[in-house]
Amino acid sequence: MDPTRELRERDELLDRIRPYVDERGITNLTLETLADALGMRAASLREFFETKEELVVALLARNRIRLRAQFARFDADATLTDREFGRSMWNFYVETASDSKLFFEAFGLALHDELYGEFFHGVNDWLDLLADALTRRGMEAERAGAFATLTLAVFRGAMLDYCATGDRVRLDAAMEMWFAVAGSGIER
């Protein structure tokens, strides 16, 4: 098969898979039940993904690419203040909450199942990305790594809370407090 066509078909298949995974999660997912839900044979699905874990890693990789691209767009926008940058990312996270749900479910599975080991490659790559952005926004390089860690912890914690409760009003208020603190931390 032509590699370009194969990539396109794989991407289209991931588009079809995503709503199923969003609705049902990955814990009880099997390639057989997924193939059945998609109206295809499991053997056809296995041509693209040999294992459930490979499928989940592919979904997570797509999410990470989309999130990193959005981060880069916001980071490149010199008109955004630190607070507006953070608020823009928070709003994007909330708008794509299904990505976070998948992230958290996979994170929990990866803690105990080495089959998801590939997943952890994408967890910490955000530290360097965020530390670099913080440095460009004026934070001393020696503080940027620790501040990036704290920022990721706040965002991930708030998103886990949002995924569990859906309480946007409370979490928006909490994040506004964080943006104020984070903005003053960058300036020091």
pLDDT at position 7: 87
Whether the CB-CB separation of 163 and 101 falls below 8 Å is answered with yes
Residue type, position 125, single letter: D
- Spans of all domains in the chain: 1-50, 65-187
Please say if the pLDDT value at position 29 is more than 90: yes
Mean per-residue pLDDT over the chain, rounded: 89
pLDDT at position 170: 98
pLDDT at position 164: 95
Please tell me if the domain spanning 1-50 has the same topology as the one spanning 65-187: no
Who's near 55: CB < 8 A, 6+ residues apart?
Answer: 17, 29, 31, 34, 49
CA distance 84 to 82: 6
Nearest-5° Cα angle at 171, 168 to 175: 130
**pLDDT bucket at 117, cuts 50 / 70 / 90:** low
> Does domain 65-187 bear CATH number 1.10.1040.10?
no
Place of tokens 């704290």: 150
**pLDDT bucket at 43, cuts 50 / 70 / 90:** very high
pLDDT at position 18: 94
pLDDT at position 13: 95
Each residue's pLDDT tens digit, 133-186: 989 888 898 899 999 999 999 999 999 999 999 999 999 999 999 998 887 665
Each residue's pLDDT tens digit, 52-74: 989 998 998 898 888 889 999 99
pLDDT at position 137: 83
CATH of domain 1-50: 1.10.10
